[in-house]
Amino acid sequence: MNILAFDTALSAGSVALVSNGAVLATCDEPNAKSLAERLVPMVDKVLAEAGKAYTDIDRIAVTVGPGTFTGMRIGVATARAMSLAADVPLVGASTLEVMARQVANDHPSATDIHICFDARRKEVYCQSFRPLGESDVAPLSEPVACSYEVASGLLSGTSGVAAGNGVGLVETPATIQVLEGYTRLDACVLAGMAAARPVPDSVPEPLYLRAPDAKLPGGKEVGA
């Protein structure tokens, strides 16, 4: 199964083409502001490097958020268009889920995995998981956007490991091991999750956990 996977929801972009667990090609874009123009060329580059065409894609996977409003919309809208044009299934996964799976892959002995992303406005996006098989994770809580203090309270009394670019913003108990370096998502991990998941009955939607950061006069959302 050839799976095209990409993430644009956080502060960078990642595209990968994975075939039956083997990575055929990848492409990264560190500048989130370039993703609207760069995403399709990145996909074309990955397909060309792998010697594949759009007709060779069996499944598309995309992150649905939480993350930047513009990034989420770019990714989900592009994934929907490609899925429709290629007539292939589309599978979505949250950024929190993908990061938790990355941690699980690197730390197979970890039981509870707590993910915190910087959501700005002195808030974090956070959710807790437990590894599920070799390719997915099971949620232990709901994804939320909350203050640093509330996130610290949610972690109080728990154990395991914590990761993400927002984990340093909250207080963690001594029973939690804080992992450094987990700031970007790996589209290859997303592809593995998409291969293990059933195709959803509905089209994936962006995961908005709060209102946009700014609005134009009259209430129109900026970047949403």
Delimit the domains of the chain by residue range: 2-94+184-196, 96-178
Question: Comparing 102 with 36, which gets the higher pLDDT?
Answer: 102
Q: What's the pLDDT score for residue 89?
A: 97
Question: Which pLDDT band, with edges at 50, 70 and 90, does 27 fall under?
Answer: very high
pTM: 0.92
CATH number of 2-94+184-196: 3.30.420.40
H helices, E strands: number in the chain: 5, 11
pLDDT band of 31, cuts 50, 70, 90: confident
CB 14 within 8 A of CB 7: yes
Q: What is the mean pLDDT of residues 14-40?
A: 93
- Rounded percentage of the chain residues whose pLDDT exceeds 90: 88
**Strand residue runs (E) in 94-198:** 113-120, 123-132, 136-139, 144-147, 160-163, 176-178
Q: How many CB atoms neighbour CB 219 within 10 A? A: 6
| Residue with more model confidence, 33 or 155 | 155
Give domain 96-178's CATH number out of 3.40.50.1860, 3.40.50.2300, 2.40.37.10, 3.30.420.40: 3.30.420.40
Q: Is the pLDDT of residue 220 over 80?
A: no
**Confidence at residue 221, expressed as pLDDT on a 0 to 100 scale:** 41
